[in-house]
Amino acid sequence: MRTTVMQLKQALQALVQRESAMRLAALGGSEPSLEPIPRRQSTL
């Protein structure tokens, strides 16, 4: 039972990630005048 729940959760996460990526790609730079968003610098 537990593995079924985990598999379902992973499948839903993958679906959401894929759909989000496709939605973002569909925007395709639709805001050319947008200034770059500052990002945190990672400390490795």
Which of 19, 17, 13, 18 lies closest to 5, judged by CA? 13
φ, ψ at 4 (rounded to 5°): -65, -45
- Domain-embedded: residue 44: no
Q: What residue numbers bound the domain in which 15 lies?
A: 1-25
Residue 35 located in a structural domain: no
Task: Please report whether residue 38 resides in a domain.
Answer: no
State the pLDDT at residue 17. 96
Instruction: Say if 7 falls within a structural domain.
Output: yes
Residue 36: predicted pLDDT? 82
Residue 19 in any domain: the answer is yes
Instruction: Tell me if 42 is assigned to some domain.
Output: no
Structure confidence by residue, pLDDT tens digits, 1-44: 789 999 999 999 999 999 999 998 888 767 778 888 888 877 76
pTM of the entire predicted model:
0.57
Query: What's the structural domain count of the chain?
Result: 1
The runs of H, that is alpha helices, within the chain are 2-27
Decide if 5 is inside a domain: yes
Between the CA atoms of 6, 10, 12 and 15, what dihedral angle is there, to the nearest 10 degrees? -160
Q: What is the pLDDT, as a whole number, of residue 44?
A: 61
